[in-house]
Amino acid sequence: MMRVGISQRSRAHVVKSAWRAASSRGVSDWCSQTLLTASAALDRGDVSAVQLTQACIQQVESTRAFNMFVATDFEHALELARASDERR
């Protein structure tokens, strides 16, 4: 049986294209920020942990067709984000 695969370079191109497409559909810019930037925004109250988590969930959902994640637990992530916001 002949195995047809995708090169690592091609795979990287597909992933970059998926992220670019997700961004063009209005997915939050928070996913492209550094952790330091997001942390500072949380400290200033510019964004909540729930908002950041929702932005990441949107990003994951927008690339679902590429099967980049084996498992997701969005509800648990949102529960943890809510708890974090309550502590702030």
What Cα–Cα distance (Å) separates residue 28 from each residue in 4, 15, 19, 61, 85?
Answer: 35, 17, 11, 12, 19
Does residue 44 or residue 12 have the better pLDDT?
44
Predicted structure pTM score: 0.66
Does residue 24 or residue 69 have the better pLDDT?
69
Does residue 43 or residue 6 have the better pLDDT?
43
User: How far apart, in whole angstroms, are the C-alpha atoms of residue 26 and residue 49?
Assistant: 19
- Residue reference for tokens 């974090």: 84
Q: Determine the pLDDT at residue 42.
A: 94
Side chain identity, residue 53 = T
What are the tens digits of pLDDT across the range 27-80? 568 888 899 999 999 999 999 999 999 999 999 998 888 988 889 999 999 999
Q: In the numeric block, which tokens belong to residue 54?
A: 């929702």
Q: Does the structure show a pLDDT above 70 at 86?
A: yes
* Domain layout of the chain by residue ranges: 8-87
